[in-house]
Amino acid sequence: MKAAQDPEIFKNFKHYEIYRRVVECNNWYSVGIQYFNVLKGQSPDFVHLVDQFRENDMIGNPVTQKYPEIGRFSAASLRYIKVAYDLGRMFGNLNKLNMVEIGGGYGGLGKMIQVMGSYASYTLIDLPPALELAKKYVEAAGLPNVSFIACDQLDQLKDHHYDLLVSNYAFSEINIAEQKEYISKLIDNVPNGYITFNFIAPNYGVNTLSVEDFAKALESKSRVVSIQPEVPQLGKRNVILTWTTP
C-alpha cells in the first residue's frame, strides 16, 4: 500500500476515496451524531478525554465534522470511541488484558483503548498491506506493545495467549474457510470476545458462517454468548456478538 511507503500519502491517507470506502465507511455527520448521542447516554465521561481521542484525527487527515460540545471529529473516531467504551463496560478494566483484533485496519480502535486506560498488549491481524499501514500509524500515534500478524500466518498464534478478541466488520466479511481457520487457531482459545457482524459479504459473492452457526461453535466450547442489535445500526440487521467464559 502506497500510504505505508510514501510519507506524503500517509499524511493524507484517511482522505483517499479508496481508503474511505474500505475502512472509514459511513464517515458522515449523520452517522457521527448517532455515535455522539450513544456515547453521551452511555459513557458521558468520554468528554473529559476528547482532546486525547482527537489525536487519532491528527494522523492521516480524515474528513471531520463539528459536533456539539466536542468540536471537530471524524465519525470513524466516534465509532472507535463507542466500541472502546462498550469493551470497558462489558469486560471491565482493559489495562491488564492481552487483546487481539481481526481486521483492525490501521489500528484506530487500539488508539482509543490506549487513551481510555490502555491494554496490556494489542495484536493486529490483517492483510499484509493493511499491516504495513498499521505499523506506520502505530509508530505515529506512539502506541505501546502492539504486534502484527499477517492473516496468512495464523500458525504464529499458537505461541500466544489472548484474553479478549475484537473484530468489527472484518471477521463477518471473510469466507467460511478462513473463518473456520480463525476459529480453530485463535477464537477457540480466547475466553472473551466482541464481534460486530455486518452482512455485506454475499454482495461480493463471499459465503460466510451465519451468526447462529458461529454462536453454536462458541457454545460447544462452553462460552456464554450474547447477540444484540448494533447501536447505532450501521447496516441492516447488524449485530454485536459477545462471549465470555464462566
Ligand X SMILES: C[S@@+](CC[C@H](N)C(=O)[O-])C[C@H]1O[C@@H](n2cnc3c(N)ncnc32)[C@H](O)[C@@H]1O
- Interface with ligand X (CB under 6 A): 22-23, 102-105, 125-127, 130, 151, 168-170, 173-174, 178
CB of 241 to ligand X, least distance (A): 15
Bond into 232 cis (ω within 30)? yes
Nearer to ligand X, 50 or 178 (CB): 178
CB of 122 to ligand X, least distance (A): 13
By beta carbon distance, the residue nearest ligand X is 103
CB of 246 to ligand X, least distance (A): 28
Nearer to ligand X, 3 or 23 (CB): 23
Which H or E run includes 29? helix 29-42
CB of 126 to ligand X, least distance (A): 4
Nearer to ligand X, 128 or 224 (CB): 128
Nearer to ligand X, 126 or 163 (CB): 126
**Three-state DSSP string of 91-120:** HCCHHHCEEEEECCCCCHHHHHHHHHCCCC
CB of 60 to ligand X, least distance (A): 13
Nearer to ligand X, 26 or 121 (CB): 26
